[in-house]
Amino acid sequence: MNDRIPGSMTASVLLTSPARPYPLLEGRFSPFDQMGFRFTRGQDIFTMQEHAHFYGLHLMAQNIEAPARVLEFPSLNDLERELKAGDFSILGITTNVFNLQVVAEMCRLARRVSPSTTIVVGGNGTRCLHDEADRTLQQGRDYDHLCLGDGIAALRDLLGESTHGPVTGRLPLCGSGLPWLSPRLAGNSGIILSGLGCTTRCPFCSTSAQHGGKYVEIMDGHAIFRAMKQYWRTSQGLNFTCIVDENFLNQPDKFQELGRLIRDDQEFGLGRLNYLAFASADHVSALDPEELLLAGVDGLWIGVESLFTRLAKRRDVDMKALFEQLHAHGISTVGSTIAGFDFHTPESLDQDLDYYTSLSPTLQQIAILSVIPSTSLWHSMRQAGRLMGSGDHQQSHLYGETLQYRHFTHQELARRVDGAYRADA
């Protein structure tokens, strides 16, 4: 994006999430309650609930010089009121795939109410626009700019600000818990955005595809460390921080630097500065769990994917031993697996899900294989004529029906996945 906003010196920015009401996934789950939807799904009274925020919007607002206002879950009326009151130069809307319809409505509203406002649409829902058959949002008619990557750099560029300044952020806390223990889920974890994208390019991975298989750094080790300390200084209810980076241990220098800063810190040190990170099995298994602990690792999200996969990141890794070792060292795990690969027959899927359950991850994600533009899997399924529900954005989630499976109906897969969640309870 390099069409600067006229009069950038006096520009102001409105950043918003998709408007409410948002669609319920599978007709029953809030898409913004990741605990209920996936991590503790199907565990009866032990299913947790989560409240979350639109972290990217807050981070962008905190890292541009122009005054900015953030709206989370506005109604269309709220948005109209803000647009009329604010005379905003830029409206930035973030979207998930399943929110695209309402985002199209928001764009139309903004065009009508505030025609001089430049509309920028970003977020992971923009990946659907790689499908040229998808006409939900169109440049010119609905929006002026699409932001496919780093939203801070894109906004700074649009506003004529330096794109090289450091990124800082203290984002609202998210929180999770058992709803019957506490009706109000207080914030207990802080989010830190380290980077976008992943160079490993697993064929089904939409976040890697979104960034063209590249890694985009948002915060270096020092910036992450400062953000972490800021959380601990200012948030009494904080339990841990989560470093958002698709494959954090794939950035060894950053990981080591952060670990050194944490160990040397006199104010909080290793006793407090712990974090959850995402990491692929090959990188985790290359390190001794003691090294992970000494770098501040409290929990790891590891893609198990499948016992039968040939993905390079899993090759030669004994997952069972890895999970056991991590748990023995007090490191919690989020394990994610996928049902419905072409190599899955009814028998091998049972074997795979049993194997996954035997790892006893602390939190779990048992997904149904889904294809999202523009992953390489999506391209091959499109070529094979196996895409389902093209244009039905409500299906674009972990349990949706996006392709014809080789050995299952979608209903059969859903039943097996629900059974595996129950077995893991």
Residue numbers at the binding site for ligand SF4 (CB under 6 A): 198, 200-202, 205, 207-208, 246-247, 280, 303, 313
Q: Tell me the C-alpha distance between 336 and 357, whole Å.
A: 11
Q: Select from 89, 147, 139, 144 the least CA-distant residue to 114.
A: 89
Q: Which residues pair with 380 in a beta bridge?
A: none
CB of 370 to ligand SF4, least distance (A): 13
The smaller minimum CB distance to ligand SF4, of residues 90 and 297, is found at 297
CB of 309 to ligand SF4, least distance (A): 11
Contact 273, 298 (CB under 8 A): no
The smaller minimum CB distance to ligand SF4, of residues 200 and 306, is found at 200
The smaller minimum CB distance to ligand SF4, of residues 47 and 280, is found at 280
CB of 287 to ligand SF4, least distance (A): 16
Residue the block writes with tokens 């985790």: 284
CB of 367 to ligand SF4, least distance (A): 11
CB of 141 to ligand SF4, least distance (A): 33
The smaller minimum CB distance to ligand SF4, of residues 274 and 306, is found at 306
Burial status of residue 177 (CB atoms within 10 A of its CB: 0-12, 13-18, 19 or more): middle
The smaller minimum CB distance to ligand SF4, of residues 17 and 309, is found at 309
- Tokens in use for 21? 């009401």
Q: Select from 347, 327, 362, 331 the least CA-distant residue to 407.
A: 347
Distances (CA, A) of 240 to 90, 168, 192, 229, 299: 34, 18, 11, 11, 10
CB of 342 to ligand SF4, least distance (A): 17
The smaller minimum CB distance to ligand SF4, of residues 71 and 148, is found at 148
Q: Which residues in 339-360 are b (16+ Cβ under 10 Å) and which e?
A: bbbeebeeeebeebbebbbebe
Sequence-ordered list of residues with C-beta below 8 angstroms from that of 233, at least 6 positions apart, any chain? none
CB of 205 to ligand SF4, least distance (A): 3
CB of 194 to ligand SF4, least distance (A): 13
The smaller minimum CB distance to ligand SF4, of residues 42 and 123, is found at 123
CB of 63 to ligand SF4, least distance (A): 24
The smaller minimum CB distance to ligand SF4, of residues 156 and 313, is found at 313
- Strands 297-305 and 332-339, by their bridges, are parallel
Residue the block writes with tokens 């629900």: 418
The smaller minimum CB distance to ligand SF4, of residues 91 and 198, is found at 198
CB of 303 to ligand SF4, least distance (A): 5
The smaller minimum CB distance to ligand SF4, of residues 126 and 251, is found at 251
